[in-house]
Amino acid sequence: MHAPENRIATSVLVIGTGGAGLRAAIELAERGVDVLAVGKRPKADAHTSLAAGGINAALATMDPEDSWQQHAADTLKESYLLANPETVRIITEGAAQGIEDLQRYGMPFAREQDGRISQRFFGAHTFRRTAFAGDYTGLEIQRTLINRAAQLGVPILDSVYITRILVRDNAVFGAYGFDLSDGRRYVIHADAVILAAGGHTRIWRRTSSRRDENTGDAFRLAVLAGCRIRDPELVQFHPSGLIAPENAAGTLVSEAARGEGGILRNQLGERFMARYDPERMELSTRDRVSLAAYTEIKEGRGTPDGGVWLDVSHLPRETIMKRLPRVYQTLLELQMLDITKEPIEIAPTAHYSMGGVWVRPEDHGTGVDGLYAIGEAASGLHGANRLGGNSLIELLVFGRIVGQAAAAYSAGLEAQRRSAEALDAARAEVDALLAADGPENVRALQRALRDIMTEYAGVVRDEDGLRKGLSELDAVEARIADVGVHPDIAGFQDLAHAFDLKSAALAARATIETALERRETRGCHNRSDYPELDPALQVNLVWSGPGSVQREAIAPIPAEIAALMREVSTVGKLVE
């Protein structure tokens, strides 16, 4: 007799309750389609709520000459030609509608005196096109979406961990999971499934993700369901993560701090961006600022704790309080540091998965019928460098489109075919882990994995290091077979951590194997043994399981967009 199971049926299941998942659920509910959203952490605390700087749309409220075409050109240029031009067109052209939807739901955007939505500059945009709400933009968006979902009566299960997406004959029929508090199992039957479970940046030691998020869950769920992963090696390291205190290492200092005039200095007091991007200085792109900081630290010009200084203390106190309230508050709380008087010690930190599940540009279908992926779980928009502010608009545009696509798919199904075998396999996997009583500690293995990724697949990589990383990963994977899982009175977190670990190991392998294959330096991907950009590698790398990496050609950029792109310079792309 197996453990008690809650059986639920819905037309569309959304996995993940961050901005992408909620926007898709709202679209479905507004269309009268039966939808259920599940998340492994409380919806009010989804990762989206940490996004500080803003959300991009060529509204032209500040710079009348801005256009979606220019936004598309900037995005493609900054992607180092690895973004999918059709994905980019859909998002940049649909961005204004995304902002309008948010306003309709009650989002409190910052405005100019005459009521226009205020927009500010964000690194590497041609014009001011980043709308914001203080430096709490993501938090406000998440709150706005939660309120709208509540108005529509969208059912949300807050503490359910999905372990498998259920598939029969390449068509999805639901998902399997368990409740984090009491361990009760869930069998959720659904016509369509939307995967919005985030990225994999938590597999590095210093990261802007919190403890139990972005461990590569979406990657593992997708691969086990028959999907492929595109460009997992393309990970954005944010230039400004805090170093201390240890338990908050990687907490971000918003890029707004540089946008408002913050200055970067090394331990010698030099304003080092002059060496790497003399024109844009601190307003350069994330990959350049991260590489610059990494290089300064590596060459011995960093702070004693291995960082660099970010200084806003020369700005008027009023500017700091009005434009950077969250940065001010965070530093006071974490370090008792007053940023109006003292500089902040920062270092590059793993921040955003620019690759993700392979999806079609038009509807983010994965190639498995009825299974879609959106948000940081998906790929196609960012290529080798993401423009700040683009990820939040992506959630809104594709949340809407995929909600529509899933609704249409569900309506068109003549019957749902299920598979007892698929369900048994999902059930057996949870049973086996619960019975696991090996000597290995899940947390210790997670740490070992993060050390491998930080050591061998961080800001700068090379063949030897990546190969070492793979062999150390083999050893960690072998040890995963011997973990002990011990749920206790406080709940089933230990079981969740064991699944997180399995996901992290898969994501790490995908990342290292594609990083080995990309023998060039392009955007966020720095290979010290291949310091040049290789035109032959202007392809996406698609990973479909251990040892399987295929190159996929990218569609040409439309002439009208290409005409607006400026030359991608490789200046300042120093590697060790």
DSSP per-residue codes, 504-531 = HHHHHHHHHHHHHH--S-BTTBEETTS-
The residues facing 35 across adjacent strands are 12
> What DSSP designation does 491 have?
B
The answer to whether the CB of 8 falls within 8 A of the CB of 189 is yes
Per DSSP (E only), the strands in 440-569 are: 460-461, 526-527, 540-543, 549-552
> What DSSP designation does 206 have?
S
527 catalytic, yes or no? no
Query: Given this model, what pLDDT does residue 326 score?
Result: 87
238 catalytic, yes or no? yes
Query: Given this model, what pLDDT does residue 110 score?
Result: 94
Question: pLDDT truncated to tens, each residue of the chain (576 aa)?
Answer: 567 899 999 999 999 999 999 999 999 999 999 999 999 998 888 888 877 779 999 999 999 999 999 999 999 999 999 999 999 999 999 999 999 999 999 999 999 999 999 998 876 788 999 999 977 899 999 999 999 999 999 999 999 999 999 999 999 999 999 999 999 999 999 999 999 999 999 999 889 888 889 999 999 999 999 999 999 999 999 899 999 888 888 888 988 899 899 999 999 999 999 999 999 999 888 888 999 999 999 899 999 999 999 999 999 999 999 989 989 999 999 999 999 999 999 999 999 999 999 999 999 999 999 999 999 999 999 999 988 889 999 999 999 999 999 999 999 999 999 999 999 999 999 999 999 999 999 999 999 999 999 999 999 999 999 999 999 999 999 999 999 998 887 779 999 999 999 999 999 999 999 999 999 999 999 999 999 999 999 999 999 999 999 999 999 999 999 999 976 444 443 332
Query: Given this model, what pLDDT does residue 316 score?
Result: 97
Contacts 24+ apart (CB under 8 A), 97-100: 97/397, 97/400, 98/55, 98/57, 98/393, 98/396, 98/397, 98/400, 99/55, 99/57, 99/59, 99/131, 99/393, 99/396
In terms of DSSP bridges, do strands 263-265 and 308-311 run parallel, antiparallel, or are they unpaired? antiparallel
Residue 171 phi/psi, 5-degree rounding, is: -130, 135
Q: Quickly count: other Cβ atoms within 10 Å of residue 92's Cβ.
A: 28
The residues facing 311 across adjacent strands are 263
- Rama region for 364: left / alpha / beta (φ>0; ψ in -120 to 50; rest): left
Query: Given this model, what pLDDT does residue 252 score?
Result: 87
Q: Which of 220, 238, 461, 509 is catalytic?
A: 238
Query: Given this model, what pLDDT does residue 423 score?
Result: 98
Cα 13 to Cα 33, 165, 446: the distances in Å are 11, 10, 29
Query: Given this model, what pLDDT does residue 292 score?
Result: 95
The answer to whether the CB of 499 falls within 8 A of the CB of 187 is no
The answer to whether the CB of 196 falls within 8 A of the CB of 231 is no
- Give the integer Cα–Cα distance in Å for 391 and 23: 13
> What DSSP designation does 558 have?
P
- Give the integer Cα–Cα distance in Å for 179 and 10: 18
Query: Given this model, what pLDDT does residue 573 score?
Result: 37
Please indicate, yes or no, whether the overall pTM of this predicted structure exceeds 0.85: yes
For residue 373, count CB atoms less than 10 angstroms from its CB and return exposed for 0-12, middle for 13-18, buried for 19 or more.
buried
Q: Kindly give, in sequence order, each residue whose CB lies less than 8 Å from that of residue 419, ignoring residues fewer than 6 positions away.
A: 166, 167, 168, 169, 173
Q: Which of 258, 288, 386, 518 is catalytic?
A: 258
